């Protein structure tokens, strides 16, 4: 797909980007190279290739699921204006 100068300016307008003529020319070259790369990728035969969630076969290391802090609810609720059964009471806002 061949891009023209007007295409870049229209895309910039739709994206609410302010481009001057020099920037539009530079983006025209960049976008042209990107579209060429996409065309080359689309030409590849991908039959029989399973889709990947991630290119590397790795798992995320997770920390142990254990309690590391003491329960401080009583200390925090001592300074609250109104508490009942461990819950903060607030004024009703929606009728």
pLDDT digits (tens, 9 = 90+) for 8-60: 999 999 999 988 888 888 899 899 999 999 999 999 998 998 888 888 878 88
Amino acid 82: pLDDT: 94
pLDDT digits (tens, 9 = 90+) for 66-82: 999 999 999 999 999 99
Q: Please, which residues have CB within 8 angstroms of residue 19's CB and are 6 or more apart in sequence?
A: 8, 9, 12, 27
Amino acid 58: pLDDT: 80
Residue 5 backbone phi and psi in degrees, to 5:
-55, -40
Spell out the alpha helix ranges (H) of 1-95: 5-14, 21-42, 73-77
In eight-state DSSP terms, residue 27 is H
Amino acid 1: pLDDT: 60
Amino acid 51: pLDDT: 86
Amino acid 60: pLDDT: 82
């Amino acid at each position: 797909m061949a891009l023209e100068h007007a295409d870049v300016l229209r895309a910039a307008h739709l994206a609410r980007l302010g481009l001057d003529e020099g920037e539009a020319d530079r983006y025209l070259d960049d976008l042209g190279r990107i579209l060429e790369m996409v065309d080359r990728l689309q030409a590849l035969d991908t039959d029989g290739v399973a889709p990947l969630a991630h290119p590397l076969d790795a798992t995320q290391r997770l920390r142990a699921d254990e309690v590391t802090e003491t329960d401080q609810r009583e200390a925090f609720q001592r300074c609250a204006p109104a508490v009942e059964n461990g819950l903060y009471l607030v004024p009703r806002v929606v009728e």
